[in-house]
Structure 1
Amino acid sequence: GPHLMAMNKPWHPEHFLCRECGKSLRGIEFIENDGFPYCVEDYYNLFGNKCAGCGEPIKENYINAIGKTWHAEHFVCCLCDKQLGNIPFHVDNGKPYCEFHYEELFATRCHKCDEAVKAGEQWIEALGHNWHKRCFRCVECQIELHGKSFYSREDHPYCSEHRHLIST
């Protein structure tokens, strides 16, 4: 009788079926696994990677990040949904964050200006707080106090010259 060639062997057309759902694979795309034919949908459902974002099978455009596989469009900041595929990102507790939100949540903040201390930036711990080196200044004359003697009142630093302004 009539036959078709697939996977390097002849098949009766009525027997060339998806192993999972039984659908005829004549004339449509199929994928072989372990010697058996599968329709594309069943193949990916059974054997494909699942997206860590949506749980659906991944067929193309995927990203491997933080030990998981993602549809490219689902690897996003957990707070703002910004796609992270081609930009720097941070991870905390297994969750991806864009740089902006990671900094907002987790960065060391300067006591004076309340901005994040960025990686590689010089900073100081003084008076029980963190400060940008550029922000640790005498409240009176604005001289930088890094590496100098200083005095304080209520977490405000003063230089030697203006320590007399601290009421005792």
Structure 2
Amino acid sequence: MNPQCARCGKVVYPTEKVNCLDKYWHKGCFHCEVCKMALNMNNYKGYEKKPYCNALLLEGLEGYWDQYVPSGLMQPSLLE
């Protein structure tokens, strides 16, 4: 049986599967929680099993982070 996508809940078939953060995703569903940028295995950071983009880290978008991410989550610069 094929797994369900962590974002949309639909079945993920092998040809469209991304296995990341201990979950399965459709390639199109694996995007940043904040800015919705499409992600891949080379340009994401994970926090609490959710994907975030490196752009938040590299560009220092602290105001953007504060605006769109629920309080209590760590700033992007602290993600590993």
Structure-1-length-normalised TM-score: 0.33
**Could you say which structure has the larger radius of gyration?**
1
Pair 1:106-2:53 in alignment: no
Q: Deviations over 1:52-82 (max 9, x none)?
A: 1100001231100011111011011001111
Counterparts of 1:51 and 1:66, CA distance in 2: 12
Match of 1:79 in 2: 34
User: What amino acid maps onto 2:42 in structure 1?
Assistant: I
Residue of structure 1 aligned with 2:3, choices 27, 42, 49: 49
Q: Secondary structure at the match of 2:18?
A: strand
Matches within 5 A, 1:8-87: 47-59=1-13, 60-87=15-42
Counterparts of 1:106 and 1:81, CA distance in 2: 15
Which of the two has greater strand per residue?
1
Counterparts of 1:94 and 1:75, CA distance in 2: 12
The gaps in structure 2 that reach 5 residues or longer are 62-74
Q: Is the contact made by 2:22 and 2:49 (CA closer than 8 Å) also made in structure 1? A: no
Change (3 A) 1:86 1:55: same
Size of the aligned set, in residue pairs, is 62
Deviation at 1:97, TM superposition (A): 0.5
Q: Secondary structure at the match of 2:19?
A: strand
Which of the two has greater helix per residue?
2
Between 1 and 2, higher relative CO (CA 8 Å, sep ≥ 6) is seen in 2
Structure-2-length-normalised TM-score: 0.65
Match of 1:95 in 2: 50
Query: Structure 1 residue runs of 4+, over 4 Å off?
Result: none
